[in-house]
A and B are shown apart, each in its own frame.
Chain A
């Protein structure tokens, strides 16, 4: 990341959060007092790391030689031709080591945890991609690792569970609630509060209490920074539209953030509409939720009249979360980014479209972004440019997809 990309002026949309960790009314630090001193320490440690060129050098080294950055920006010629509209580019985050964008953030945070002298890592995971990324760096640096994963997700993401165990992590299935990401997050927070003396909580998305939303966004912003350079090199101009899937919102925030001050670039976050936005079985927190407080921050949440959090639904384990990062809630309220939905069915179709036209098997999460891009591309002129963030590869999803296609593996 170059210095100019991290410096945002007073009128910039990139200057948030404020000192309290707020993006407008969203964000904050709604945690038990036991954790507050740790968050303040983390905030201080992160600021110190940001100011230390050695930290940047170390991170750049690992991003290049271990993660495999930069990731390519691929012109999807056959998909573009088939859809017959805007030129489609794909930011290939699925080519990162461990197969998703998650490692960008995990690498940043593990280096920070090491600077802070922590020896044990806990993390929550939904699809298992964040868990795999975390288990991977724990193996790399020889640290203890406990991954909390909803029991439902353990079942539907078996390959990733095995991968984490191979890497030496303890995978703890969480049976509370519906056994998905929200419950795993609760349990990871409980572990952290119990083991504060040696444990670092490695949050996998742009949610949680401040400074996590900011920190994870900063580490993921490499996606957008590279995209900007690559599209300038390829097309000599910025894209018209950027589309990314929204679970907690980290891959989207990462690609959006460097473009926030370029109003000509339309930013579209695609939430999981599940069985349909109005089906009651959705994970579309911004489109169907209300502001509230969960997991340490104020944001849009799926909840009932009484403020009880409701279960999310999505075919994609990584999007199956009733909340969303607070910065997205703010970007939605101020109108800088748009948030739309793609259903389970649409994602499955897009999964196959991408596989057949580009030879890229995308994660079901990313397939939501592809689905929406495929919807709008034909309506856009051939001189227009869309960038889709391919946040991960779909190997982990082949069992789920096979089941939906009625194929026995």
Chain B
């Protein structure tokens, strides 16, 4: 069983939902992002998404765009991202790590070598934003061979008859992009979620995470009431940005501020009892 499957199985037994925070690699520098990553499980993260900075994040809103730019200025490269995961794994063998990014840096690294190296350092799953099922063959073979989960995105615009296409080849969990839009902007209403989730449940047995627009403990709790996990990215990145000095460098506040916010989100998520629900 993969780390991701194991983690969701444990959470289900405990009747809990999951909080999945996001950290952008090398934002604003390697050491700071590694310190945040290392502190996340202790602050209540159940799984962690590590953002791989890309120069042209066309599906992301201003917050993640700026984080990606800071990451690139902070010395990020695919090699550096993998080093960071390896450093994290040296102290944590349980918390699943999912890399989230765009196709081109993976293509430049070489899809096969990437999957092998990612697995070797302890990556568990991949979310490639601009790789819909129609283009998934680039990674499907190498990821399966290496034992990496491919986490598929599904959107409000995905019609019912397309759901089997999207879920074919998906593993780990499913990521529901709860709004039509870029990251860090609008929030889906409870009604919208109540409508969307049953539709997805009918089409997959995989756990479902909700992302995009979750910025407060209340919204995170709402999300795990409807689904199995809540992804929080822009809210944490905004906090991080707010702690930087005028030159964009980390300060003593940076790591604690992000982890403190994460703790609040995690407490709200973990207070939701999911016993009896699927």
Interface residue ranges, A against B (CB under 8 Å): 20, 28-38, 176-177, 182, 185-186, 189-190, 193-197, 290-296, 298, 301, 303, 305-310
Give the residues in chain B near A301, CB-CB below 8 Å: 104
Give the residues in chain B near A309, CB-CB below 8 Å: 55-56, 104
Chain B contact surface mostly: loop
Give the residues in chain A near B43, CB-CB below 8 Å: none
- The docked-state distance in angstroms from the alpha carbon of A20 to that of B138 is 13
- The docked-state distance in angstroms from the alpha carbon of A373 to that of B3 is 61
Q: A32-B132, A295-B56 are in contact. List 4 more A-B contacts (CB 8 A).
A: A33-B154, A190-B60, A306-B105, A308-B104
Map CB proximity to A onto B97-125 as digits: 1 under 8 Å, 0 otherwise.
00000111111110000000000000000
Map CB proximity to A onto B58-90 as digits: 1 under 8 Å, 0 otherwise.
111100010000001000011100000000000
State whether A32 and B153 are in contact (beta carbons under 8 Å apart), knowing that A182-B56, A193-B59, A306-B77 are contacts in the complex: yes
The tally of CB-CB contacts under 8 A between chains A and B is 123
Q: Is B253 an interface residue (CB 8 A)?
A: no
Q: Is B18 an interface residue (CB 8 A)?
A: no
Q: Is B268 an interface residue (CB 8 A)?
A: no
Give the residues in chain B near A308, CB-CB below 8 Å: 54-55, 72, 104-105
Q: Are A30 and B157 in contact (CB under 8 A)?
A: no
A-B contact pairs, 5 of them (CB 8 A): A29-B135, A33-B166, A186-B57, A194-B186, A196-B180
- The docked-state distance in angstroms from the alpha carbon of A35 to that of B60 is 13
Q: Is B169 an interface residue (CB 8 A)?
A: no
State whether A194 and B134 are in contact (beta carbons under 8 Å apart), knowing that A34-B177, A177-B55 are contacts in the complex: no
Give the residues in chain B near A38, CB-CB below 8 Å: 157
Chain B nearest CB from A24 CB (Å) reads 15
Q: Are B108 and A30 in contact (CB under 8 A)?
A: no
State whether A190 and B134 are in contact (beta carbons under 8 Å apart), knowing that A292-B104, A307-B104, A307-B105 are contacts in the complex: no
State whether A32 and B59 are in contact (beta carbons under 8 Å apart), knowing that A190-B182, A306-B78, A308-B54 are contacts in the complex: yes
Q: Are B180 and A193 in contact (CB under 8 A)?
A: yes
Give the residues in chain B near A193, CB-CB below 8 Å: 59, 180-182
Q: Is B272 an interface residue (CB 8 A)?
A: no
Residue of chain A at shortest CB distance from B68 = A308
Q: Are A194 and B182 in contact (CB under 8 A)?
A: yes
Q: Are A307 and B162 in contact (CB under 8 A)?
A: no
Partner of B104, one of A20, A176, A185, A303: A303
Q: Are B106 and A307 in contact (CB under 8 A)?
A: yes
